[in-house]
Amino acid sequence: MVTIDFHELKLKPGSMVLDAGCGSGRHLRALAKLPDLKIFGIDRNEADVKEAIQGLKTMPDALSHDFHVACADINVLPFDDAVFDCVICSEVLEHIPEHEKALAELVRVLKPKGDLVVSVPRYFSERICWLISSAYYHEEGGHIRIYKKKKLQKMLSKQGTTCWKINYKHALHAPYWWLKCLVGLKNERNILIRLYKKFLEWDIMKKPRLVRLLEELLNPLMGKSIVYYLKKG
């Protein structure tokens, strides 16, 4: 499930791109489908890093093969100043206690006029989860805060970036998480959860046109994620 619309960024061959908090590599694999990029990923979870590397190595449709993925802390990025043409950070900041320090690091390693893309759970969708289930926000390694749209935009602006677009994604995933909060986060045997999960997996794999159109129509109303596209300087 890809949250970032990479066609918006118009990345050129030879561009250096960092995915900070790459997890198991969903966005790294999407980047690898673009030609001749230099792709970097960091994450604190060693198992996720290994999975990301394996996924990139075995991609049959990769157009970019220059990738470097390693364990590292987003608050102390192991890169020099102003080295990346694009930095993305998707669904990560809501987990980090020192999120402003992380933002400063993301901007530090970005070139002047480079693109920064940040996504977090949207306030409306996330707030419903928190209201339904106390277990949701007490989950170990889970979300420790909910961002309001303008507050996060001001935080990003303070770091020297200018927002040129805001987008919303994954509307059809929001009800799935509301259901999980209602029936129990670990309750995978519930019939509604099982059916909805199969529907989402089918949608991700097959991308049926009518379902894709429905989600695009619903995203502004109930998109689960909000995505900020920004320029440095």
Tens-digit pLDDT profile for residues 23-81? 999 999 999 999 999 999 999 999 999 999 999 999 999 999 999 999 999 999 999 99
Position 175 scores a pLDDT of 97
CATH topology for the 6-232 domain:
Rossmann fold (3.40.50)
- Side-chain-side CA neighbours of residue 206 (13 Å): 10
Number of residues written out for the chain: 233
pLDDT at 140 over 90: no
Tokens standing for 130?
Answer: 């928190």
Angle of helix 99-108 versus helix 149-158 axis, rounded to 10: 50
Strand, coil or helix: 168: strand
Distance of alpha carbon 138 from its chain centroid, rounded?
A: 21
Amino acid at 63: L
What is the reported pTM?
0.96
Position 137 scores a pLDDT of 84
pLDDT at 173 over 90: yes
Q: Beta strand pairing status for 161-169 and 225-232? A: antiparallel
Tens-digit pLDDT profile for residues 204-221? 999 999 999 999 999 999
Looking at the chain, the whole-number percentage of residues with pLDDT higher than 70 is 100
- Beta-carbon contacts of residue 200 (< 8 Å; ≥ 6 apart): 172, 173, 176
